[in-house]
Structure formats: structure tokens, C-alpha cells
Amino acid sequence: DAKTTQPNSMESNEEEPVHLPCNHSTISGTDYIHWYRQLPSQGPEYVIHGLTSNVNNRMASLAIAEDRKSSTLILHRATLRDAAVYYCILIRGGSQGNLIFGKGTKLSVKP
Amino acid sequence: EAEVAQSPRYKITEKSQAVAFWCDPISGHATLYWYRQILGQGPELLVQFQDESVVDDSQLPKDRFSAERLKGVDSTLKIQPAELGDSAMYLCASSLVRDWGEQFFGPGTRLTVL
């Protein structure tokens, strides 16, 4: 399985946009890019996923580089509730769908 | 909104004792996962079920861990005997589609082995 690299931690101010980077230089053509986040004392929750094109949903946007070797999760206006560990995970299409979590990026949001 | 249920939420046990965790996935979700999360790390998969069948238990320590999903609905994860190193959060997740569908996680069971 291809690996991902994320910064250990990031800080943001409330109501400002946040860009969380993820590098996946060994991604294959059938790997989907998934993002999950884990709020304190909770199980992880799905945020967004994409293959090649940028994606938007009610929680966030996912910007995927043209060569697919990196991606960025964008939170348009951070709230205190967005403080969490964010995981970038590659899942191969047609696989069993197992999530291989790294250490993720711990996002702190300051009021 | 449908949720994955887990019980108990917290469990304290002494080493060499047996413990069991229960998970009830979202109705209609055929795929069920058990993960273990050690403090400060991301979750790691222990076992994956498709209906009542195990499709991946390569990371399950089979000498002491067992998992079952007899009727393809709820599931039980057992540890016997528990060891100090088993202290962790045990998370259950389910998904509608096996290959890359969104996984829905329960709140987890926090196990402390003394």
C-alpha cells in the first residue's frame, strides 16, 4: 500500500481557512485519497475522498495535485469543533477497503 | 441518524482475565471492522468481516484474540488472557460497500489492563 506523509501538527485561528497537506508520491492510478478525522475521545469520522478531480462537500474541500502526488484538505472556516487529528489515507480501488492510518496531523484551533 | 453502537465504553481488567467487547453496526452494513488504537497512534485493523465471514484477520493476535459475527449482524471481540500491552481503544466500524465505501465508526471501548 502506498504511504502518505503529513505534518505532525498545525495551528489555525477560528474562522480562518485551514489547508492540511498530504504527500503521497508513490500513489498508484487506482488509489483513492480519503480523509478522516478523529475528534478527542471519539472514533474517526469520514470527511471526504477523491480520485483525480477536486471535490467539495458540506464539511470540506479536497484539492488534488495534477500528478496526484499530493493533496490538500481545505476547511474553509475553521471552528473550535474542527480541532482534531486529520488522517490522509490511500485506498486502492477494488481492494478490501482497509484503512491504514498513519499518525495524522493534529489540528489546533485558537479562538 | 444511524450509528454504530459499542459496549462497554470503558473496561478495566486485570492481566490474565478474559474480556469481551460488543459491536452493533449500522443496519444493512455488510462489512464490519475491528480496529485497535494505542494512545498517540492511529487505529490499526485487527479483523474485517463481510457478512459472517472473516475476510482479513492477518493482524489479529490469534493466540489470545478471537472475533465472531455469527449471524452477520452484531459482532464480539474477545481477549483471553488479557496482557498489559492490550490496553488501548478498541474501535468498531461498518460500511455499506466493501472496497472503498465510507466507514462509520463507533465510540470505542477503552480497555485498561492492570
Q: Which three cell numbers stand for residue B106?
A: 463507533
Tell me the pLDDT tens digit for each residue of A23-59.
999 998 888 999 999 999 899 999 999 999 999 999 9
* Partners of residue A99 in chain B, C-beta under 8 Å: 33, 35, 43, 45, 103
> B2: buried, middle or exposed (CB in 10 Å: 19+, 13-18, 0-12)?
exposed
> Which chain B residues have a beta carbon less than 8 Å from that of A44?
43, 91, 93, 103, 105
The predicted model gives B19-30 an average pLDDT of 95
In a 3-state reduction of DSSP, which class is residue A73?
A: strand
Evaluate if residue A94 carries a pLDDT over 80: no
A40 close contact with B: CB closer than 8 A? no
Cell readout for B92 is 468498531
Give the whole-angstrom CA distance, residue A1 versus residue A95.
10
pLDDT at B98 over 90: no
DSSP code, position A5: B
